[in-house]
């Protein structure tokens, strides 16, 4: 399962970087991320200007507040953009082999379903991670203002890697289940939307009428739905290290469980796809 020992990964990355979207998407992604960060900076500091931001007058916006504001804006924007982009790479990964009739060649080689899956998964995740890493300099602009340290950047990035890994696994499952890329991509987007929106609706409905606004005051099943929400998972990472348990840890368990389930189902589908290859 190593990266270097699997010819699929090299092939996939080479083909991906040859496509026009190989450079267009990272460019657009960075432009969008930068634009959001600039806008948020303007909204926080305007009309006082930067000189007032760093003043020590308690009624003025403090530097660390700008730092935290920029960091949160960059992190949520990054997650939003990458949730939009991840299905593009994973949902078409196996369907393209079916569409161009190359799956039979792979299945009759000595790669086997596990190596085919791993190659596709690693290649699609690596491309999304490339975008994530490319956005890190923008995320770390917050360092200049204070309020954000290495730990915050690390745990946020780790959380996003787990979220994107799960989204790639879901996309690959749909890719193994459908014959056409357009169908697999559409269903992957529906899954992302359902995971992002539905848990909040469930949570809001369940929280209506509860005494306090703590997550733990809502019924267990409503909280469980929230643990599968990528935005909530990212939010749970913005806490001190000691408070990662229980919310962040529960989210981690749910995301890893979903990923494992998707892997097993995708492998089963790949094994059975000899007929349509």
Kindly tell me which residue out of 52, 84, 101, 136 binds other proteins, with binding defined by CB under 8 A.
101
Decide: is 20 part of the binding site for other proteins (CB under 8 A).
no
Decide: is 48 part of the binding site for other proteins (CB under 8 A).
no
For other proteins, give the closer residue by CB, 109 or 257: 109
Kindly tell me which residue out of 106, 170, 184, 222 binds other proteins, with binding defined by CB under 8 A.
106
C-alpha to C-alpha distance for 186 and 265, rounded to whole angstroms:
19
Q: Which of residues 246-275 bind other proteins (CB under 8 A)?
A: 274-275
For other proteins, give the closer residue by CB, 168 or 273: 273
Closest separation in Å from C-beta 121 to other proteins = 17
For other proteins, give the closer residue by CB, 97 or 152: 97
Decide: is 11 part of the binding site for other proteins (CB under 8 A).
yes
For other proteins, give the closer residue by CB, 11 or 179: 11
Decide: is 1 part of the binding site for other proteins (CB under 8 A).
no
C-alpha to C-alpha distance for 167 and 162, rounded to whole angstroms:
9
Torsion sign over Cα 195, 200, 205, 206:
positive
The 3-class SS string of 45-88 reads HCCCCHHHHCCCCCCCCCHHHHHHHHHHHHHHHHHHHHHHHHHH
Decide: is 14 part of the binding site for other proteins (CB under 8 A).
yes
DSSP 243: G
Size of the site for other proteins (CB under 8 A): 25
- Beta-strand runs (E) in the chain: none
Which residues touch 101 (CB under 8 Å, ≥6 apart)?
277
Decide: is 105 part of the binding site for other proteins (CB under 8 A).
yes
Which residues touch 267 (CB under 8 Å, ≥6 apart)?
113, 114, 117
C-alpha to C-alpha distance for 143 and 49, rounded to whole angstroms:
19
Stretch that binds other proteins, among 26-34, 96-104, 136-144, 149-157 (CB under 8 A): 96-104
Take residue 133 and report the two structure tokens written for it. 């890493």
Residues contributing to the site for other proteins (CB under 8 A):
7-8, 10-11, 14-15, 18-19, 97, 100-112, 274-275, 277
């Amino acid at each position: 399962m190593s990266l270097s020992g699997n010819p699929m990964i090299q092939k996939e990355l080479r083909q991906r970087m040859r496509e026009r979207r190989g450079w267009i998407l990272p460019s657009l992604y960075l432009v969008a991320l930068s634009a959001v960060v600039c806008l948020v900076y303007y909204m926080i500091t305007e009309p006082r200007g930067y000189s007032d931001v760093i003043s020590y007058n308690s009624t003025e916006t403090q530097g660390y507040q700008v730092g935290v504001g920029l960091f949160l804006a960059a992190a949520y924007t990054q997650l939003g953009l990458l949730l939009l982009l991840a299905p593009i790479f994973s949902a078409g990964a196996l369907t393209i082999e079916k569409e161009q009739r190359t799956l039979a060649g792979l299945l009759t080689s000595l790669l086997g379903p596990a190596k085919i899956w791993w190659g596709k998964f690693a290649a699609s995740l690596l491309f999304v991670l490339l975008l994530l890493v490319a956005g890190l300099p923008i995320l770390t602009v917050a360092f200049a203002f204070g309020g954000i340290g290495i730990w915050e950047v690390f745990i946020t990035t780790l959380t996003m890697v787990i979220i994107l890994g799960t989204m790639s696994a879901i996309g690959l499952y749909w890719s193994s289940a459908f014959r056409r890329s357009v169908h697999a991509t559409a269903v992957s987007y529906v899954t992302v939307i359902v995971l992002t929106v539905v848990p909040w609706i469930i949570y809001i409905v369940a929280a209506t009428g509860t005494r306090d606004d703590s997550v733990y005051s809502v019924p267990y099943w409503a909280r469980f739905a929230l643990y599968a929400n990528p935005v909530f998972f990212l939010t749970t990472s913005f806490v001190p290290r000691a408070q990662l348990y229980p919310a962040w840890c529960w989210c981690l368990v749910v995301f890893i469980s979903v990923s494992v389930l998707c892997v097993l189902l995708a492998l089963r589908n790949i094994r059975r796809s000899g007929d349509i290859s």
